[in-house]
Amino acid sequence: MKFSKILLVLAGLMSSGAPNALASQVKVIANWSVRADTVSATDLKRVFLEERNSLADGTHVEPVLGKDGPVHEAFLQRYLEISQDDLQTYYRALVFTGRGSMPKELGSDAEVVAYVARTRGAIGYVSSEASLEGVKTLAIGVPSGSTERKLITRIEPDYPETLKRLNIGGTVRLRVVISAKGNVEECELLGGNPILGESAALAVKKWVYAAGRSRTITEISIQFGGR
């Protein structure tokens, strides 16, 4: 029993090494001229693929890329769903037909933060450990391409007693796939404590949404304990 408690605590304290958890360690940052505090994953993808150069609120935005590295790879995989090589090819096709530009590419988190801080409309991404002085952090919200689904049945997740007693809490982020009928088909941990995430996912899989026209994907956050 004691051993299992230790394992629980260790698991709670350590950060996950899984790819999704790595994606959760990416922070999307923006220049303070960007009015929005939240950007949908879909809009973020469109901004970085230069399909749009403004957000829903009309703010002009300009993507900024990091160079090779785990954070860059995680961002491309999680949000753009494209490999580094394919992305470069994509940008070159824009550049050589005159239909777009090559986004600024910077070598380190510090350079990205500095550039975003001084450039109107700039949006970039850095490791969650990077110093974010002079920039704002954008939360990734519900994709604008999906319809907001009304939640009918909500089951509260269990807060594991050991973590609660040790005051280990925080926010867990989940990506949820809702079927047309309203059942939760998939639930993927995007960020937060993996044990709390597992507990949250068990509960969320029992949630029921209102029926819709098609399957939708949304992101939800669940808070464990006070802040």
Partner 1 sequence: MRRQILGLALACFSLGRLAQAQDFKLFNREVEVHGFASQGFVYTNTNNWLTMNSSQGSAAFTDFGFNVSTSVTDKLRVGAQLYDRNLGQLGRYHPSLDWAFADYRFKSWFGVRGGKVKTTVGLYTDTQDEDFLRVFALLPQSVYPTDLRDATIAHLGGDVYGDIFLKHGLGDLYYTAYAGHRSDNAYSGYPYYFASFGAHIANLGGLQYGADLRWKTPLKGVLIGASRTNEDSSAKGTAINPFNPAAGLVPYSEFSKADWTNQFYGQYTVRRLRIDSEYRRYVRDQEIFNGNSESLADVRGWYISGAYRICKRLQIGSYYSRYTITNVVRGPLSAFYPPATDTSLPGNHDYDKVITGRVDLTRFWNAKIEGHFMNGYGSGPYPNGFYTQVNPQGFTPNTDALVVKTSINF
Interface residues with partner 1 (CB under 8 A) are 42, 46, 51-54, 60, 81, 83, 85-86, 88-89, 92-93, 95-99, 101-102, 121, 144-147, 212-217
CB of 121 to partner 1, least distance (A): 7
Residue with Cβ nearer partner 1 (81 or 185): 81
R_g (Cα) of the chain, nearest Å? 19
Residue with Cβ nearer partner 1 (120 or 206): 120
CB of 51 to partner 1, least distance (A): 5
Residue with Cβ nearer partner 1 (67 or 165): 67
Count of H-run helices and E-run strands, the chain = 8, 11
Residue with Cβ nearer partner 1 (2 or 99): 99
CB of 204 to partner 1, least distance (A): 20
Inter-residue contact 145 to 173 (CB < 8 Å): no
Phi, psi of 197 (to 5 degrees): -65, -40
Contacts 24+ apart (CB under 8 A), 116-119: 116/29, 116/30, 116/31, 116/64, 117/31, 118/31, 119/31, 119/62, 119/64
As given in the structure block, the two tokens for residue 143 are: 């994709």
CB of 200 to partner 1, least distance (A): 24
